Each structure stands twice: as C-alpha cells, then as structure tokens.
Amino acid sequence: MKHMNLMLVAGAIVALPLLASARSEAKSPPAVWLASDLVGMKVVDKQGESLGKIEDVVVHPGGEASYAVLSFGGVLGMGDKLFAMPWSVLRAVEPNTAKKDSADSLVLPLDKERLKAAPGFDKKNWPTIANPDWTKEIDSYYAKDLKSNTKQPVEAAARTSVITWKVSELKGANVMTPTGEKLGDLKELAIDTNGRVNYVAVSVGGFLGLGDKLVAVPWGSLTFSLAGDKSDKRLISLASTKKHLEQAPEFKEGKENTTLMSEPKYISRLYDYYSCPVYWTSTPAPAGTQSPKD
C-alpha cells in the first residue's frame, strides 16, 4: 500500500511502535490504515516469516483499538483458534529487514513457544471482550511484551467499556440523527498507526436527497449509546444538518484513492470542518460531546 510510506520516519531504520502514548507529542495527524486494508493484513514474526493475519479489530466509543484479533492459519497447529492481544504488542515492519511481500504487514515480535501458550478462543465462540475478567487475563499475559516494545504500555482493559464492537460489525451499521431518523450507513473506518479510530465514512442518501454520497466524519463527532438499560443494541448518532453534510469532505472509495484518504492534510481539513478536537495534539474529549458547525 502506498500509504504505508507515511508511517516511516525519514531516515529511520527502527520500527514505528503502535502506541497511543506518543499522541500528545504529535503535531500533525497520524498516518492511517483503512479498515478494509487492515483486516486481512499479514502478520509476520521478527524474521519476516508469515504467521497469519488480522481477522478483526475490537474498538469502543473512546476510539482506541483495544485489541487486534489474529489467526495463525494453521501455523504451530493453532488453525482453529483466534487470539486477541493488546494493539500495542504489534509494530510496523522494519524497512531494512522486510522480505518480499512483507512491507504491507505488521510484526508480532513473540517467539513461537510463547505464541503456543497464548490464551485463545474458538473461531465460532467469541468471548465478551468488554468483560474485565477476560481482559485482565489477556493483558497480564502480554504485559512483559508490552514493556519491551513501548516506553509507557497501556493496558487494553483500561480502554474497554460496556459498548464494544468488532470492526466487521460496524460496517453497515446505521447512523442516526439525535431524533432517531436514519442518516446513512457506516461503510469504512480509518484506524491510525497508534490504534485509534480516526474517522469513519458514512453513506448518506435518500433522506438527504444526495443519492448515496460518501462523506467522512471524525469518530469524536459521533455519539454512542445502548437502546435501553437491558439491551445490547448499539446506537450510533450524528448531530448534523442536511446543509452541513452536503458540504462535508467527501470520502472516495477504491485502492486508487487510499493514499488520498490517508493524507494528514485531508484529515486535518476533516477535523476542522466538524470543529472536532484533534486528539493527536491534546487530550481527546469524550466521543459525541462536540457538535458540528451548521
């Protein structure tokens, strides 16, 4: 992918760690992956040998990608299991060690014996990832690896909530107005190199008379809730007007537009349009607290 080049600091030969601790020091938007590229991405070991791929990513309303869910494709005899691990365990491929076809990959710097002993689950029986008992076990297992890969490791359990999604579940989800009228469908997510959801693409049409136009919306402009105290139905809403969405930055689909949709200039313009706080230069406000301009 062309946009992977944005992840590499000029002249650096070390890997770029995928950790949110560097956000406060960032002065420009971080590079992003589109979820359609990230899910299915190859995962390699420290020598660049293929281990498996990313099956899904777990996110919550705060925006962070709490866990990456990996499959190992039969490697090590673990073909029937999935493995969730804190996002911070993964890192980018080192450019000076990349093998053929491994540039568009993420590194899982664990030895094979440690992977064999990692807690996993059956592909057909996902755990409740918001369960603190379950997340505590996962975080505890990878704590040593987090410390070796980052200066200030953050437990993924601290970023979970009663509302969590797999990225695969979010695609196609309804986006509503605060009064319950449908605005459109969520079609794509952009996840930055620190594991945070940066923005989403929403298909709007019919209600707006636009004919299925794709517009980009900062994650922080969305509001998340549950449909009733005992319901597990997730609700996503956006406080916006017809006029505002008609003029919103357009999201362009297709591989030929991936680089454009990942450019810092585009992301900065997007956040400015919605008057959404930029989380990469300051402490992010709770999701859904910022209303867009009319």
Quote the distance between the C-alpha of residue 86 and its chain's center: 12
Q: What is the pTM of this model?
A: 0.77
C-alpha 35/C-alpha 28 separation (Å) is 21
pLDDT tens per residue, range 160-181 = 556 778 898 888 889 988 888 8
> DSSP per residue over 123-175, as a string?
TTS---TT-HHHHHHHHHHHHHHHHHH-SS---GGGG--S--EEHHHHTT-EE
Tell me whether domains 34-159 and 171-273 share a fold.
Answer: yes
- Half-sphere exposure of residue 70: CA atoms within 13 angstroms, side-chain side: 29
| CATH number, span 171-273 | 2.30.30.240
Segments of the chain with pLDDT less than 50 = 1-26, 96-98, 102, 150-154, 158, 230-231, 283-294
Give me the pLDDT at residue 158, please: 47
pLDDT tens per residue, range 131-146 = 777 778 888 888 876 6
| CATH number, span 34-159 | 2.30.30.240
Domain ranges of the chain: 34-159, 171-273
C-alpha 176/C-alpha 181 separation (Å) is 5
Say if residues 34 and 261 touch (Cβ distance below 8 Å). yes
